[in-house]
Structure formats: structure tokens, C-alpha cells
Structure 1
Amino acid sequence: MTNDHSSPDRTRPDLDDATVEALGKLSEALETVDQARGFLYAFHQLTGKADRLLQESVDLFEKAGATDLAADLDRDLVGRNVIADRWTFQIVEDFDAGYWGAFRDYDARARDELAGGDRHVFEARMKQRERTQGHPRHEAGPSLADQP
């Protein structure tokens, strides 16, 4: 199915409910993966910060005379892989190139094949159901034709 975006109706009445629901569920799943990706990036940044703080503590232990502890920390923890053979930037890169990339590709494929590329059709239908017609701040727009 393709859509020429000439209809102002974002609810895509030409699509059956099962298709719209399936597209909505896939979109929700991708949004959840996007949220998980954000946590992964936070893990990456926090782990890097922890390593810099660890390096500062090593310097302070050396200044305090705890040279054996400083040497052990420096040898065993500073720059250590967080999982086998990987720093966090490598985990992020693997996630982006693999799982996240594939998820995004399938979401785009489903939208392209079934809804002419239109996004958030499920939500557009929900908005139409839940808004108060004729009430200020409850307008239906913008239309598909107004979308970039």
C-alpha cells in the first residue's frame, strides 16, 4: 500500500485495524529499544566517568603513600574491559550496528510496505477517538499533506 499524502486524514481509513494495531505495536517496541539504547549510552558515559575518577583516586593513593594499592588499582582496573574484550564504546557500536539497526530497518520496512511510510497511524487514530471535536486545543491537524 502506498499513500500519496493527499488525504488530510492521518488516521489512514484505508488501512484495516489489525494492520494499524500491528504497526503501532512494532513502533512501540522500537521506542522501547530506543529507550534501552539511551540507557546503554548512559552506561557508556558513566563507565567512562568512573574510569577517569578511578585514575584520580590512583594518583591520590600514590600521593598518600599507598603505592601498592595504587599500583594494583592501576594495573587491574584502570582501562579494564567491562565485558570480555570490550570497552563500552564497542558495546554501543555493536548494539547500534546490529540489533538497533535491524530493528529500525524492520520498522521502516513495515511502514513502507503497509502504510506508505506513514508513521504513528495508531496514535493518530487514538487522537481522533479521544479528542473533543470542535473544542479549542483539540484540533485534528496537521494533515498528512502538511508532514515533511
Structure 2
Amino acid sequence: MNTHHDGPDRDHRRPDGVSDTLVEALGSLSKALETTERARGHLYGFHQLTGSADLELGRAVELLREAGHPEWAERVREEILGRDVIPGHWTFQIVEAYDDTYYQPFKDLERAAVDELAEGRTHLYEAEMKQARRTDRPGSAS
């Protein structure tokens, strides 16, 4: 079992020749990708919520007809139900475009930078911060 005096495990130990500035730069690149992961999650939330709303609109159309308001049922059906969220696109197409145009290239670039500049060792910045902030308290994980 490692103690905090042993330093990070091998997979998170800085390779020879990797400077403080490079560790910080790769940490910033990783943090930016993590933020992008969160943004992507919100985009999927947008996609799912919009899809759920559209399905509920279908129910509203049926209920408006049953309630004796076919003109309102038809108006909802024609004006909103199944409508593009931006011209020519449903939300799944926005998600696909984001993934193809931004997310995947960003993810690939971050991986390539870590592979080339840090021998594939991820989270060096965080591992070193963990070592610097650790104490010998019971329950401190290695």
C-alpha cells in the first residue's frame, strides 16, 4: 500500500523530462475536455427533453380532439409537433454534428497530446496535486 511519501503510482508519475509547465498545460487540456464532456451531457439532456416534449405534444393533440377542440389539435400538430428545432435539424442531428465536428476531434487531440508528450500518462496534474494535499489521516486513499 502506498503512503503519501511514495508519490503517485507509476501510471500517474511524471515521465522524465516533462516540465511543470507541460504538466500544467496537459492538465488544462484535460480540464477543457472534461468541461466539453459536461457540455455534451447537457446536449444529450436537451435532445432527450425535446424528444419527450414532442411525444407529450402528440398526447395533447389526441386529448384536444377528444375534448372537442379539433381546430386546436390540428394547430398544435401542424405548427409544433415534429418540428425542426433549427432549420433542417432535429435534436439527434445536432448531437451527431457536435460529436463529429467538435467532441470527437477534441477527444482524439487530447489523447494524442497525452500519448506523445507524457507517454500516455493521464491526470499527472491531478495526481501531483493529490500528493501535495494529502495527509496521513486514516481513510486517505492512495
Note whether the superposition's TM-score is higher than 0.5. yes
Are 1:37 and 2:15 an aligned pair? no
Backbone CA RMSD of aligned residues: 1.5
Task: Write the distance in 2 (CA, Å) between the matches of 1:40 and 1:90.
Answer: 11
Structure-2 residue corresponding to 1:100? 103
Structure-1 residue corresponding to 2:23? 20
Would the alpha carbon gap of residues 9 and 110 (structure 1) be closer, same or farther in structure 2, given more than 3 Å must change? closer
Structure-1 residue corresponding to 2:116? 113
The offset of 1:22, in angstroms, is: 0.2
Alignment of 1:50-129 (within 5 A): 50-129=53-132
The offset of 1:96, in angstroms, is: 0.8
SS in 2 for 1:29: helix
SS in 2 for 1:83: coil
For structure 1, the residue ranges without an aligned partner over 5 or more in a row are: 1-6, 141-148
Task: Write the distance in 2 (CA, Å) between the matches of 1:9 and 1:56.
Answer: 53
Flag as ranges the 4+ runs of structure 1 deviating above 2 A: 7-11, 134-140
Identical columns (%): 49
Q: TM-score, length-normalised on structure 2?
A: 0.88
Q: TM-score, length-normalised on structure 1?
A: 0.84
CA contact (8 A) 2:15 2:118 kept: no
The offset of 1:121, in angstroms, is: 0.5
Aligned length: 133
Task: Write the distance in 1 (CA, Å) between the matches of 2:31 and 2:110.
Answer: 10
For structure 2, the residue ranges without an aligned partner over 5 or more in a row are: 1-8
Are 1:47 and 2:64 an aligned pair? no
The offset of 1:137, in angstroms, is: 3.0
